[in-house]
Amino acid sequence: MNAMRKIDTPRKIAVVTGAGSGIGRAVSRALSGAGWSVVLAGRRTETLEETARAAGGDSLCVRTDVSLPEDVDALFAAVGERYGRIDLLFNNAGTFGPGGIALEDLPYSAWRKVVDTNLTGTFLCAQAAFRMMKAQDPQGGRIINNGSVSAHAPRPDSVAYTATKHGMTGLTKSLSLDGRRYRIACGQIDIGNAATDMTERMRRGVPQANRELAVEPVMDAADVATTVLHMAELPLEANIQFATVLATAMPFVGRG
């Protein structure tokens, strides 16, 4: 499964970052089930291999820290060597950072880790995919960025995460604009309370805008994957620029 060999196939090729768990795993399974070849990128080889087994189909695991330019270069070199092209990048890798730390107490190192992963990592992967999509024949492809409902409204004590997700929206718009002449479409999915390890704390109670604790509802990550698959399989002449998928009863719309 992981041998570095280029294969001739009519299957579409997707790269999913943060593929070792949660939304990345769910999206990888959905893409594989729909007949895509999926390149699984993440920091832990063992969890990527678990995703590969769960997804089935044709896949390639590449250990990648998206915040490191050399890792991103190696990832897309592996894609080129194995498949010769890329049709989709799902920019999913991200971190919330340390929870429960007030803005005035947030260490610089924690800020940098979140920014380097969520925003710089997304840029590095998008840039590498953009270069491949521009150069390949036939030209073009699609980039889907994983934003968050935090791209619209913050939670308490989440300045680094919220800032990066607002930045993601600007990145998505610039990629969409700059990609037009090369048939490169770019959209963003903003997700609220998908049931993953990252959102497990929602079931125990999280601070609301008024600082009271409240348990929040979650939704199945497979429902997010269904939306990503729909976005991915549109013809390049059509694009979902922004989509918001959230647990219906979560306190997002309105005043809590």
Q: Which residues are catalytic?
A: 161
Residue 23's CB is within 10 A of a number of other CB atoms, namely 26
Q: Could you tell me whether strands 59-63 and 141-146 are parallel, antiparallel, or unpaired per DSSP bridges?
A: unpaired
Residue type for 10, please?
A: P
Q: Which two tokens stand for residue 181?
A: 């002449």
Sequence-distant (6+) residues with CB within 8 A of 147 are: 165, 168, 169, 172, 188, 189, 190, 191, 242
Cβ–Cβ under 8 Å, residues 49 and 73: no
Q: Could you tell me whether strands 141-146 and 37-42 are parallel, antiparallel, or unpaired per DSSP bridges?
A: unpaired
Sequence-distant (6+) residues with CB within 8 A of 4 are: 78, 81, 82
Cβ–Cβ under 8 Å, residues 144 and 89: yes
Q: Which of 14, 28, 61, 57 is nearest to 42 (CA)?
A: 61
Report residue 186: phi and psi, to 5°. -140, 130
Q: Report how far residue 63's alpha carbon sits from residue 156's, in angstroms, rounded to the nearest whole number.
A: 33
Residue type for 164, please?
A: T
Q: Which two tokens stand for residue 26?
A: 């769910």
